[in-house]
């Protein structure tokens, strides 16, 4: 059978990032084609190009052999391409049938005017659902009253009402219960028999083996390869996804690891911090790995007091402390460089000077007032120390490049003279040079005795920088590796597979996890 969809040499550039570089993809009718890759590998960008949300900068898209260019998602829809995104896009206040036929409801004549025929819509909605073996869903119910699994079925029915021939599913099982996953799989198989092509994105490798016919792997915006599922294995796919060489960008310095400065014991904050325990020692860089949604940032924000813990203990220098808000965390010498520098890390409309001093305003007072001189010299010093490329301390942060903005965030937290530095995705979206500088800095800080906790989605960064690596999944630490024993494959396996693979699972946290999900 010939390909119904072919993409060739697709490229897409965003400011500062090459999201896709010369990527290809193809699918035949009645095929389930899995799309795999780490966070940021370009999967989302690719499906957005297929569904008409983005236009590619280069390359061709062929539908049934005919070159097409979609200007809007609607055009892609009309050609039979439907997408079910992670966050479902239904109207909670409308009924099942109204949602299914939103924008293309059947009409009937009422005298001289044409009106929407909701009776027919209800009947047709019922028929479509029945064709998916869904008989327990009342089409007049409001979406807001349905479970996530049922909403997803409505999304699928909506796609079919548009005569979709290509259905894109972006992590469809992420929010589903076991029973719902099974029903979803049955529906997917049903659709495959009817000749619908399905692009299936998931981080769960076993789903890929259960469902998919072929799999395409992307890495750093580049095409790695396409294989029939029958000719590959989990290990094979993991190494395709992460198989980068660790380059010389990470000048990790040898450090002397000292006493524990931070210890957390069975920390809970639902939903994504579920009994986390670990230690952080002076002079040590601990890498915290895990997929998006595994609870890495959430733990950091519990420790920093953004969302205080519901239970569990935080110990600084062996003494239990109370951290209810960031101010208290800062008093204990904790600094947190957050994941999203635009909304969390910076006040971008303000000047470099004002951003750097924001965490230490109380410390640079003379009397009641901010000491301007001290503020200037602090900012000037940081600009020099971190080599921030700006023409003055008075430049508005918004106007700086991503890397320099990140350096301003780091400056702000170095200014607070922390003993414990938590860095959440410290080099995301910044250029190679700035990345190397931040790594060098991190390494130097550890050598000066800081305890560093580094959260990262990039395995090479984790492997390159960390003295010790913790892996999180489902709000728990599921594995721990010393630097010498860590490999990309072992970490990736612990991040993704349900059995924690060949990593060294922490038995007690695993037990909590199992009783929780049971």
Partner 1 sequence: MAVTERPSQLTEPSNPIVSRLRAVVLSKEGILFLIMIAAMFILSLLTDKFLTTNNLLNQLRLVTEIGLMALPMTFIIITGGIDLSVGSIFGLSAIVMGFLWQDSGWPLELAIIMCMVVGTMAGFMNGLFIVRVGVPPLIMTLATLALYRGMALGVSEARSARGFPDWFFDLGQRQFLGIPSQLWILLIAAIIAGIVLARTPFGRGIYAMGNNELGARFSGIPVRLYKLAIYTFSGFMAGLAGYIFTSRISTTRADMGTGLELDVIAAVVLGGTSINGGSGSIVGTMIGLVLIQLLKNGLLLGGVKGDATIVIIGAILILAILINNLVQRRAGGD
CB of 453 to partner 1, least distance (A): 16
Backbone angles phi, psi at 398, to 5 degrees: -50, -30
Q: Where are the alpha helices (DSSP H) in 51-95?
A: 73-78
CA distances from 388 to 295, 353, 360, 428 (A): 31, 12, 19, 17
Given its phi and psi angles, is residue 22 left (phi above 0), alpha (psi -120 to 50 degrees) or beta?
A: left
| Token digits of residue 253 | 């310095």
Stretch that binds partner 1, among 139-147, 214-222, 277-285, 326-334 (CB under 8 A): 326-334
Residue 60's DSSP bridge partners are 8
Residue among 358, 436, 504, 512 that touches partner 1 (CB under 8 A)? 358
Tokens of 228: 């029939």
Least Å from the CB of residue 298 to partner 1: 14
Q: Which of 67, 145, 177, 392 binds partner 1 (CB under 8 A)?
A: 392
504 belongs to the binding site for partner 1 (CB under 8 A): no
Minimum Å gap between C-beta 244 and partner 1 is 31
Stretch that binds partner 1, among 72-80, 381-389, 444-452, 486-494 (CB under 8 A): 381-389
Residue 359 found at the interface with partner 1 (CB under 8 A): yes
Q: Please give the structure tokens belonging to residue 407.
A: 């350096």
For the bound state, the minimum distance from the C-beta of residue 399 to partner 1, rounded and expressed in Å, comes to 8
Closest alpha carbon to 345 in 263, 276, 403 = 403
Of residues 218 and 383, the one with the C-beta less far from partner 1: 383
Least distance to partner 1, CB of residue 86, Å = 22
In the complex with partner 1, the residue whose CB is nearer, 53 or 364, is 364
Alpha helices in 79-177 (DSSP H): 96-100, 118-131, 148-161
Q: Does 322 bind partner 1 (CB under 8 A)?
A: no
> Please, which residues have CB within 8 angstroms of residue 505's CB and are 6 or more apart in sequence?
478, 479, 494
Q: Does 369 bind partner 1 (CB under 8 A)?
A: yes
By the 8 A CB rule, do 481 and 318 touch? no
CA 460 to chain centre: 17
Closest separation between CB of residue 355 and partner 1, Å?
Answer: 8
Respond yes or no on whether the N-terminal peptide bond of residue 94 is cis (omega within 30° of 0): no
The region of 30-38, 110-118, 170-178, 388-396 touching partner 1 under the rule CB under 8 A is 388-396
Among 116, 306, 436, 441, binds partner 1 (CB under 8 A): 306
Smallest separation (angstroms) from partner 1 to the CB of 407: 14
Of the candidates 234, 296, 295, 244, the one whose C-alpha atom is nearest the C-alpha of residue 36 is: 234
Is the CB of 62 or the CB of 348 nearer to partner 1? 348
Task: Give, as one character, the DSSP assignment of residue 505.
Answer: B
- Using the minimum distance from each CB to partner 1, give the nearer residue, 162 or 370: 370
Shortest Cβ 62–partner 1 spacing (Å) = 44
- The H or E element containing residue 354 is helix 352-357
Contacts with partner 1 in 430-489 (CB under 8 A)?
none
Joined together, the tokens standing for residue 463 give 């492997």
Q: What is the rounded distance in angstroms from the CA atom of residue 323 to the CA atom of residue 332?
A: 9
**Closest by Cα among 360, 273, 358, 359 to 308:** 273
Query: Of 194, 215, 197, 193, nearest to 206 (Cα)?
Result: 215
Locate all alpha helices (DSSP H) within 218-266, ordered by sequence. 234-242
Residue choice 65, 66, 270, 391 for contact with partner 1 (CB under 8 A)? 391
Number of residues near partner 1 (by CB under 8 A): 37
410: nearest Cα among 428, 391, 392, 432: 428
Closest CB to partner 1 among residues 89, 398 = 398
Q: Is 345 an interacting residue with respect to partner 1 (CB under 8 A)? A: yes
Q: In this structure, what are the phi and psi dihedrals at residue 139, rounded to the nearest 5 degrees?
A: -70, -10
In contact, 52 and 83? CB cutoff 8 Å: no
Q: Does 138 sit near partner 1 (CB under 8 A)? A: no
Task: Tell me which residues in 211-230 interact with partner 1 (CB under 8 A).
Answer: none
Rounded CA-CA distance 502/481 in Å is 11
Give yes or no for residue 330 binding partner 1 (CB under 8 A): yes
- 114: contact with partner 1 by CB under 8 A: no
Binds partner 1 (CB under 8 A): choice among 376, 447, 502, 504: 376
Shortest CB 155 distance to partner 1, Å = 31
Contact stretch for partner 1 (CB under 8 A) within 57-65, 131-139, 219-227, 343-351:
343-351
Token digits of residue 171: 């992590």
Nearest to partner 1 of 187, 356 (CB atom): 356
- For position 380 contacting partner 1 by CB under 8 A, the verdict is yes
Q: Which is nearer to partner 1, 96 or 323 (CB)?
A: 323
Name the segment binding partner 1 (CB under 8 A); options: 68-76, 133-141, 190-198, 322-330: 322-330
Q: Which of residues 395-414 bind partner 1 (CB under 8 A)?
A: 412
In the block, tokens 């530095």 appear at 421
Is residue 148 within the footprint of partner 1 (CB under 8 A)? no
Cβ proximity to partner 1: between 147 and 307 the closer is 307
Q: What is the DSSP string of 111-134?
A: TTEEEE-HHHHHHHHHHHHHHTT-
**Which parts of this chain interact with partner 1 (CB under 8 A)?**
306, 325-327, 329-330, 336, 338, 343-350, 354, 357-359, 361-362, 365, 368-370, 376, 380, 383-384, 389-394, 412
């Amino acid at each position: 059978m010939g390909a119904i969809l072919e993409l060739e040499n697709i490229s897409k550039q965003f400011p500062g990032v090459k999201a896709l570089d010369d990527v290809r993809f193809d699918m035949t009718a009645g095929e389930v084609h899995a799309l795999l890759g780490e966070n940021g590998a370009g999967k989302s960008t690719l499906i957005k190009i297929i569904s008409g949300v983005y236009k590619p900068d280069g390359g061709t898209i062929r539908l049934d052999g005919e070159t097409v260019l979609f200007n809007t998602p609607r055009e892609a829809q009309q050609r039979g391409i439907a997408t079910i995104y992670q966050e479902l896009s239904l109207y909670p206040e409308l009924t099942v049938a109204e949602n299914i036929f939103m924008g293309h409801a059947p009409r009937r004549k009422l005298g001289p005017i044409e009106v929407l025929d909701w009776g027919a819509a209800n009947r047709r909605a019922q028929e479509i659902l029945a064709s998916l073996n869904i008989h327990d869903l009342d089409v007049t119910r409001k979406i807001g009253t349905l479970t996530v699994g049922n909403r997803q079925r409505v999304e699928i029915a909506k796609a079919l009402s548009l005569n979709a021939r290509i259905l894109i599913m972006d992590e469809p099982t992420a929010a589903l219960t076991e029973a719902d996953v099974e029903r979803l799989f049955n529906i997917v198989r049903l659709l495959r028999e009817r000749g619908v092509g399905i692009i299936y994105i998931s981080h769960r490798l076993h789903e890929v083996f259960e469902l998919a016919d072929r799999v395409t792997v992307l890495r750093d915006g580049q095409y790695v390869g396409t294989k029939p599922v029958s000719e590959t294995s989990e290990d094979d796919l993991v190494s395709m996804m992460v198989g980068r060489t660790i380059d010389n960008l990470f000048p990790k310095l040898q450090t002397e690891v000292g006493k524990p400065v931070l210890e957390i014991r069975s920390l809970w904050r639902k939903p994504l911090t579920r009994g986390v325990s670990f230690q952080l020692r002076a002079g040590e860089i601990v890498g915290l790995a895990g997929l998006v949604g595994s609870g890495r940032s959430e733990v950091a924000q519990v420790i920093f007091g953004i969302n205080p813990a519901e239970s569990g203990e935080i110990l600084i220098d062996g003494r239990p402390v109370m951290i209810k808000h960031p101010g208290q965390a800062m008093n204990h010498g904790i600094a947190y460089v957050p994941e999203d520098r635009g909304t969390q890390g910076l006040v971008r409309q303000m000047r470099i000077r004002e951003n750097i001093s924001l965490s230490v305003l109380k410390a640079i007072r003379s009397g009641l007032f901010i000491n301007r001189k001290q503020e200037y010299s602090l900012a000037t010093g940081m600009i020099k120390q971190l080599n921030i490329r700006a023409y003055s301390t008075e430049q508005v942060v918004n106007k700086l490049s991503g890397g320099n903005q990140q350096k301003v965030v780091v400056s702000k937290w170095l200014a607070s003279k922390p003993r414990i530095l938590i860095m959440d995705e410290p080099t995301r979206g910044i250029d190679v040079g700035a990345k190397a500088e931040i790594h060098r800095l991190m390494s130097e800080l550890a050598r000066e005795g800081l305890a560093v906790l580094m959260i990262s989605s990039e395995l090479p960064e984790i492997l390159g920088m960390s003295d010790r690596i913790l892996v999180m999944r489902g709000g728990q630490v599921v594995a721990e590796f010393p630097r010498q024993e860590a490999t990309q494959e072992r970490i990736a396996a612990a991040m993704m597979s349900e059995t924690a693979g060949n990593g060294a699972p922490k038995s007690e946290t695993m037990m909590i996890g199992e009783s929780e999900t049971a």
